[in-house]
Amino acid sequence: MRGIYLDPDAPVIEEQYAVVYVPRRSRGRVPENSVEIMESESAARDHAAEDKKKFAARVVGPSRSSEGLRIYYVVEWLE
């Protein structure tokens, strides 16, 4: 992906399932502290809570932003 720089010091840099806390699912990248990595797609779906703004997703990262923050990129929002 152009413009995405993966953090070589991060323990895990791969596509994973996660629960992401965001105001709405329109965001393509989210800060690391808003991402909770899950072991499987079903675990991510089970822990999602739309009323609490926690959505299941496939993410890749972490990556270091130009501001020095560690972020994850949303590959796909899971319904």
pLDDT given at position 67: 85
Range of the domain at 28: 14-77
**Structural domain includes residue 50:** yes
**Structural domain includes residue 7:** no
pTM of the model: 0.80
Domain count, the chain: 1
Q: How does pLDDT run across 20-74, given as a tens digit for each residue?
A: 999 988 878 999 999 999 999 999 999 999 999 999 999 998 888 888 889 999 9
Amino acid at 49: A
